[in-house]
């Protein structure tokens, strides 16, 4: 179940509020400029489906976002608990960073936790299968896939080179809850 917890940046031990209703989460995130949607596949996706098959199952939604926001590149990333570099990959995403373009992820399977640092608030979003999140460019954030990652996600980029991060050097991410699967 998708979840949004909102914190005061000075009080990481106690959320100001928690939401589980998708429409309420989408509304709360929209108020700070973050896209949060539910997508459904146009056809069944078999486990182990190719990148092309996964993208084809969500073609209409992908094309809608490409037209609306100018995204040029689309790919699929998949990570499982038996990946030999899972710990290094997790650490890479756990530090607060920004991007010069939107970070858009759609969870085809599994889950991941995006945590956004916007003004004096921290928005902790647990994304699960069917969730799309669009983090606007310049937004301070971090991502946790947990110690035993399991997710398949579609990524959309305006920069064909893909994911490029600018790390803030702040250690705020260490103070907030991590994803423990």
Residue 178 lies in a domain: no
Residue 133 lies in a domain: yes
Residue 162 confidence (pLDDT): 63
Residues in the chain: 181
Residue 181 lies in a domain: no
Residue 136 lies in a domain: yes
- Structurally, the chain folds into a number of domains equal to 1
Mean pLDDT in order along the chain per 10 residues (181 residues): 97 97 98 98 90 97 96 93 94 93 96 98 98 97 96 91 85 96 67
Residue 177 lies in a domain: no
Q: CATH number, domain at 90?
A: 2.60.120.10
Q: Please name every residue paired with 26 in a beta bridge, in sequence order, or none if there are none.
A: none
Q: With contact defined as beta carbons under 8 Å apart, do 140 and 99 qualify?
A: no
Residue 176 lies in a domain: no
CA angle 69, 73, 78 (to 5 degrees): 115
SS3 for the chain is: CCEEEEEECCCCCCCCEEECCHHHHHHHHHCCCCEEEECCCCCCCCCCCCHHHHHHHCHHHHHHHHHHHCCCEEEEEEECCCCCCHHHHHHHHHCCEECCCCEEEEEEEEEEEEEEEECCEEEEEEEECCEEEEECCCCEEEEECCCCCCEEEEEEECCCCCCCCEECCCCHHHHCCCCCC
Residue 159 confidence (pLDDT): 82
Residue 180 lies in a domain: no
Q: How many CB atoms lie within 10 A of CB 161?
A: 7
Residue 8 lies in a domain: yes
Q: Which domain holds residue 27?
A: 3-171
């Amino acid at each position: 179940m998708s979840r949004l917890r909102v914190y005061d940046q000075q009080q990481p031990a106690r959320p100001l509020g928690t939401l589980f209703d998708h429409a309420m989460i989408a509304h709360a995130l929209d108020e700070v400029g973050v896209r949060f949607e539910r997508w459904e596949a146009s056809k069944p996706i078999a486990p182990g489906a190719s990148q092309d098959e996964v993208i084809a199952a969500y073609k209409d939604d992908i094309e809608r976002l490409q037209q609306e926001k100018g995204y040029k590149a689309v790919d699929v990333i998949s990570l499982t608990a038996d990946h030999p570099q899972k710990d290094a990959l997790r650490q890479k995403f756990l530090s607060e960073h920004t991007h010069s373009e939107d970070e858009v992820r759609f969870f085809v399977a599994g889950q991941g936790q995006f945590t956004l640092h916007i003004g004096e608030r921290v928005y902790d979003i647990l994304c699960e299968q069917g969730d799309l999140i669009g983090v606007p460019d310049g937004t301070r954030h971090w991502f946790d896939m947990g110690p035993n990652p399991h997710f398949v996600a579609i990524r959309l980029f305006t920069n064909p080179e893909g994911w490029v991060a600018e790390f803030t050097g702040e250690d705020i991410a260490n103070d907030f809850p991590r994803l423990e699967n």
